[in-house]
Amino acid sequence: MDTQAANTRPRRRWYTVFALSSAAFADSMEQFGLQILWPYIYRSLDLAVAQLAPLLSIPRALGVVFGPLWGYLGDRISRKWLIVIMTGFWGLWTAAVGFADNYFQLLAFRIIATLGLGVLGPASMSLMADFFNRKERGRAAGFMSAAGYLGNLLSLVVLGALAASSPEAWRFGFIIVGSLSLLTGLLALGIPEPPRGAVEPELAGVVTGENAARIQLRFLPQLVRIATWELLLVVEVMDFIGFTIISAWIITWMDQLGMGMGAQLVMALMAVAMILGHLGFGWLSDAVEKRNPRYGRVLLGQIGYIIYAVSIIGFLLLGPQNIVYLLVFGALVGFSFSLKSTGARTPILQSVLPPELRATGRALIDWISTLCTSAGIAFSGWLLTRLGDDMQTMLLIMVPFPILLAALTWPFLFRTYPMDMEHLKLRLGEQREQILNKEII
């Protein structure tokens, strides 16, 4: 069956990776553009500094509401056209932010533009799983993730430098990012739309766009019966609580340490480590999968979480003593973050979810993670106040603890992942028989 799957690979696979990675690049620039450009925006429009909060929180809240919808649509309708419209052409609303003349226009354009940011993750995860088989998904996911973090890095450098050139130059930042989103929509027009499950060995050669399974609401309870999905939900929630909190406070923390330009160097090194890690560990993940498909990726993830937890503690505990510690542990944080995500979580999730539930399964994890991380950030602010603005202590309490919980939850995957993989293979085999029986009749 593996040979048959290899012979029925969908065409233009790597073009699809390039197009989706370009969309991830543009989305990442759009996601962090407002925070980077805000020091110039509020002066230009004569706004209060604190008015940034509603611009971030209100669109985020609406994103939580719409998140499950994007997942459902990603499993129900054409993923290609969903990405073309909501990730590509929807970027024109981001460009419109650059023409805002007052706060209410800024808020309205920002709300509309942000609605499209929740589409790419679920739809692309489902789509990529139908271009790359179980032994190839790590490198594809790694390339796309690396493009996203490259967008984060360049938004910090390019948008900041552009905005600093003149009082109104921040407008061109939004126009450029919106135009990039539009361009990615045009690139996505060239993506083929393979049937769901096209490269699964059990369905290769028999599944078509007409007979492929599509999500129905009655299928949703099946997710909670997939133990690996439940464990990954817990792991990602805990992981992203820690990651989001340190991301929210890291620049302010290093500013309090008196790092000056050293803070930019540390942030840049972490971003570069993540980019290189996503590229390298994606290929390593596929190599390990070929040698040990039952436990290889789970072991990579466990190693990644152990290094990640130790690196985070070293970064926060020893970092204030010397910038060298910050650089070394920061690089380890970036590499290990990539190892546990691209090297393990993403391909594992694709290998246990049925093709018709992949976008929804990804979207629900993102939805619950967003709710929990929002609460985590709010609690970190409350705790910081209670500790008398002692950010060092607050970060040591709030960041390592949930990451350690994620690391301690991960070992259960050694038991659930092989079983859930086999269950999916059996289910897909039954689907194959149903398709063949209908064709015979």
Domains of the chain: 9-194 (1.20.1250.20), 222-441 (1.20.1250.20)
Mean pLDDT value of segment 106-115: 90
**pLDDT tens by residue, 165-182:** 888 999 999 999 999 999
Structure-model confidence comparison of residues 217 and 317, the more confident one: 317
Q: What is the pLDDT of residue 379?
A: 85
Using the predicted structure, report yes or no on whether residue 199 has a pLDDT greater than 80: yes
Contact status, residue 210 vs residue 226, Cβ threshold 8 Å: no
Q: What pLDDT does 315 receive?
A: 94
46 Rama class: left (phi>0) / alpha (psi -120 to 50) / beta: left
Buried residues in 42-64 as b, exposed as e (16+ CB within 10 A): bebeebeeeebeebeeebeeebb
Instruction: Note the pLDDT of residue 439.
Output: 59
Residue range 347-363: mean pLDDT, rounded: 91
Tell me the average pLDDT across 76-91.
92
Cα separation, 243 vs 309, whole angstroms:
11
CA atoms 318, 338, 425, 217: torsion sign: positive
CA nearest neighbour of 418 among 285, 297, 306, 303: 297
pLDDT confidence band for 441 (50 / 70 / 90):
very low
pLDDT tens-digit series, residues 37-49? 888 888 899 988 7
Residues of the chain with pLDDT > 70: what percent? 96
Taking only the tens place, the pLDDT of each residue in 270-280 is 889 999 998 89
How confident is the model at residue 56, as a pLDDT?
A: 75
Residue 6 has pLDDT above 80, yes or no: no
Mean pLDDT of 233-252: 87
d(CA 377, CA 363): 21
Task: State the pLDDT at residue 438.
Answer: 74
The 10s digit of each residue's pLDDT in 394-410 is: 999 999 999 999 999 99
> How large is the average pLDDT for residues 366-390?
85
Give alpha helix (H) positions in 77-119: 79-83, 92-97, 103-114
